[in-house]
Amino acid sequence: MKLNIFAGLLLLLMARPLLSAENHVDMIRDLAYGDSPLQTMDVYLPGNADNAPILFLIHGGAWQFGDKRATGLIKSKIDRWLNRGFIIVSANYRLVPEVDPVTQANDLALALKTVQQQAESWGGDADKAILLGHSAGAHLLALLTTKQTFSEQNSLRPWLGSLIIDSQVLDLVSLMQHKHVEFYDKAFGNQPTYWQQASPINYVDGDEVPMFVVCSLQRPYACDNSTRFVDKVNDTGSKAELLKLDMTHNETLEEIGRDNAYTQSIEKFMSGLDPVIADHLSPSMDKKQ
């Protein structure tokens, strides 16, 4: 199927204007975790950070586009959680066709390793990290969460949980066997053996950190794909929650951090991961910052 108008608009939205430096947020810009110019991340720092929890963001963009400073990815998260004492990290990674999606997931493992190594110097707690990925970033996060070799090869410490926001390819093989837009072929090629390697559902083994999975009811296959993934996670003994939303694909990201029931659902999940997270998400934290 040719790249349709919807998909083209999606890619344009992924590349829209970035968060401006005029926001006057304390940050470490373009911290390198590898040799490529795209292997960098931004670190947003709350005032007087002391053992602060960390929210690690992964942008989408069809594995070929996107940026760590995209407004839809960053702004509402800073507005809500930086003010509650979270360190917020947003990472770039190398893109297709320079590398394939499995290599992109390993880029993110390297970025997380750097976060864990440097968190203390920022006033952060490396053991209190939550990861959030949207769209292609959600697929990469799911792959990082389920494929244990990424953690083993990079000596990663466990993080608290993963927020997997509206991926259509948690069961990649199933998606590729149905009618789909062209950018999936550009990302994953035409070899079923590679689809198997890049499909998060194939690695679920009951040893995953808790996951909160969101899917848009307005996207073909997204919730069917997510339901199969969440069912397998829970059946094998790990924990995953599924939230189906009547929102557009972009709204599933942009509405996170705004004062709404969706954000409250995410914060309820986050609070259940660790008492320190729950303390930072309490309403009184707004008054302390």
Q: What are phi and psi of 94, to 5 degrees?
A: -65, 155
The pLDDT tens digits for 10-27 are 443 444 434 443 345 799
Residue of higher predicted confidence among 166 and 286: 166
Residue percentage of the chain with pLDDT more than 90: 86
Beta pairing, strands 52-58 & 124-134: parallel
Average pLDDT, the chain: 91
Which CATH number fits the domain that encloses residue 57? Answer: 3.40.50.1820
Task: Assess whether pLDDT exceeds 50 at residue 8.
Answer: no
- Look at residue 31 in the predicted model and tell me its pLDDT: 98
Task: Assess whether pLDDT exceeds 50 at residue 280.
Answer: yes
- Look at residue 284 in the predicted model and tell me its pLDDT: 63
- Look at residue 5 in the predicted model and tell me its pLDDT: 35
Q: What pTM was computed for the model?
A: 0.92
What is the side-by-side strand order in the sheet with 124-134? 27-32, 40-44, 87-91, 52-58, 124-134, 161-165, 211-216, 240-245
- Look at residue 283 in the predicted model and tell me its pLDDT: 75
Grouping H, G, I as helix, E, B as strand and the rest as coil, residue 120 is: helix
The three state secondary structure string of 136-159 is: HHHHHHHHHHHCHHHHHHHCCCCC
Contact 238, 206 (CB under 8 A): yes
Residue-wise burial string across 148-169, b where 16 or more C-beta atoms lie within 10 A, e elsewhere? eebbeebebeebbbbbbbbbbb
Domain that holds residue 200: 5-288
Judged on CB neighbours under 10 Å (0-12, 13-18, 19+), 34 is: middle
Number of domains within the chain: 1
Q: Using CA atoms, how far apart are residues 39 and 258, in angstroms rounded to an integer?
A: 29
The pLDDT tens digits for 123-166 are 999 999 999 999 999 999 999 999 999 999 999 999 999 999 99
The pLDDT tens digits for 59-117 are 999 999 999 999 999 999 999 999 999 999 999 999 999 999 999 999 999 999 999 99
- Look at residue 24 in the predicted model and tell me its pLDDT: 56
The pLDDT tens digits for 193-229 are 999 999 999 999 999 999 999 999 999 889 999 999 9
The pLDDT tens digits for 177-196 are 988 999 999 999 999 999 99
Contact 113, 78 (CB under 8 A): no
Residue-wise burial string across 234-245, b where 16 or more C-beta atoms lie within 10 A, e elsewhere? beeebbbbbbeb
